[in-house]
Amino acid sequence: MSVIKDYTRLFFCMLRINIKGLKSYGQDFFVGIIAMIIKNIANIIGVFMIYEIIPVINGWSLPELLFLYAFSTISFSFWRCLFMNTLNVSYYVRNGELDSFLIKPIDPLFQIFMEGFDDDAWGDLLVGFIVCMMAMAQLQLPWWVFLLVVITGLFSSLIFASFSIMGSLLSLKVARGSDLSDMPYIVFDLIRYPISIYGQVMYNVFVFFFPIAWISYLPAKALLTDHSQGVLFSGISIGISLGLFVLCYVIWSSYLKHYRSTGT
């Protein structure tokens, strides 16, 4: 318990330092956020255009699609805000910087998380919050659903982190090889729309084997169908997110034991 407490304190300390560091960026920080907001507006316009062509997508109305989009964006944004630095593992390996993480008395993966945050992602998160509340108003969902979406999105961002970590493992095996740590971007493109549109075979794959359906689709669908069922599915989503992350962490730790320094 004391270890968890120490890491929690260290996390908020590093987050506070990062936020203070944003002041040094000046206008660039706000320009980045505005750019992310504009990009999300373009994505939302795309949803509207698709809806104009296909009024009902597998039984999902426009407000429901926006709710799903917001849910997915919130989860993805939390990953970008907190865990995105796993994309740099291949860089750390090639330049020998991973060695510096291994000699410190702090978990290497935690250090990689804290080494850098994606400051622009706060714009994504803001858009996710706004679109979620707008969709909820149209769907007449109770206020606590928003809190549940935020909590579930925070935990399900661990699924994005897990995929990024697993992709980074290739960097630990082949120092100059390309890796698949950018897999979260591919996943986000898939979950912005109902998983059911990809066919029954892929639906089963995304539910039982490659559990991206639990990031937002299944919890969102359950919340729109029955509130009590939505709470249950959100709990399952959180459990799967934690379980997958722990599994990836164990595999990551095992690979670290066999990691060979590049000598740079």
DSSP, res 140: T
Q: What pLDDT shows up at residue 54?
A: 65
Chain length of the chain: 264
Tokens of 13: 């300390």
Mean pLDDT, each 10-residue run in order, the chain (264 residues): 77 76 64 72 74 69 92 94 83 81 87 79 87 94 96 96 84 61 87 90 94 96 91 96 95 83 64
What the block records as the tokens of 213 is 């359906």
Specify the pTM.
0.88
Q: How far apart are the first and last CA of the chain?
A: 37
Q: Is 225 exposed, middle or buried (0-12, 13-18, 19+ CB in 10 A)?
A: exposed
What is the predicted pLDDT for the residue at 48? 72
DSSP 186-197: HHHHHHTS-GGG
| Burial tier of 3 (Cβ tally within 10 Å: 0-12, 13-18, 19+) | exposed
